[in-house]
């Protein structure tokens, strides 16, 4: 079963705006990962944040992790049309098996 749950399920914004996606999970984790999937292609790993980290940056991406609330957020700043994709979070519970959410479909309008 899938553990991570992203919200919103779909998000539509204008180019240049920021996009925020959230992920909630149920059990304790070792790390949480965010992935992007462009239509018709496999997943691309974006960023991994460990359970003892609170925030991580990579380019225009910012990920936060709140283990007390069992939630994470992915912020994409200054979005571009090329950011249009589905975004998934995946969690690695203590037993190291990964669990994926259903994803957020982001549309960035030029």
Partner 1 sequence: NAGVMQNPRHLVRRRGQEARLRCSPMKGHSHVYWYRQLPEEGLKFMVYLQKENIIDESGMPKERFSAEFPKEGPSILRIQQVVRGDSAAYFCASSPDRDREFFGPGTRLTVL
Q: Does 97 bind partner 1 (CB under 8 A)?
A: yes
Strand, helix or coil at 32? strand
Q: Does 45 bind partner 1 (CB under 8 A)?
A: yes
**Which of 33/71 has CB closer to partner 1?**
33
The window from 13-21, 52-60, 62-70, 101-109 that contacts partner 1 (CB under 8 A) reads: 101-109
**Which of 78/82 has CB closer to partner 1?**
82
Question: How do strand 85-93 and strand 29-37 relate by DSSP bridges?
Answer: antiparallel
d(CA 66, CA 51): 9
d(CA 98, CA 30): 10
**Which of 12/18 has CB closer to partner 1?**
12
CA triplet 71, 22, 76: central angle to 5 degrees?
125
Q: Does 40 bind partner 1 (CB under 8 A)?
A: yes
């Amino acid at each position: 079963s899938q553990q991570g749950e992203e919200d919103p399920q779909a998000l539509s914004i204008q180019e240049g705006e920021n996009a925020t996606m959230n992920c909630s999970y149920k059990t304790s984790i070792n790390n949480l990962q965010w992935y992007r999937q462009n239509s018709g292609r496999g997943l691309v790993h974006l960023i991994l944040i460990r359970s003892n980290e609170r925030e991580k940056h990579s380019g225009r991406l910012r990920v936060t992790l709140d283990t007390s609330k069992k939630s994470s957020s992915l912020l994409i700043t200054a979005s571009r049309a090329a950011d249009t994709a589905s975004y998934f979070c995946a969690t690695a519970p203590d037993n190291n098996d990964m669990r994926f959410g259903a994803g957020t479909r982001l549309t960035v309008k030029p």
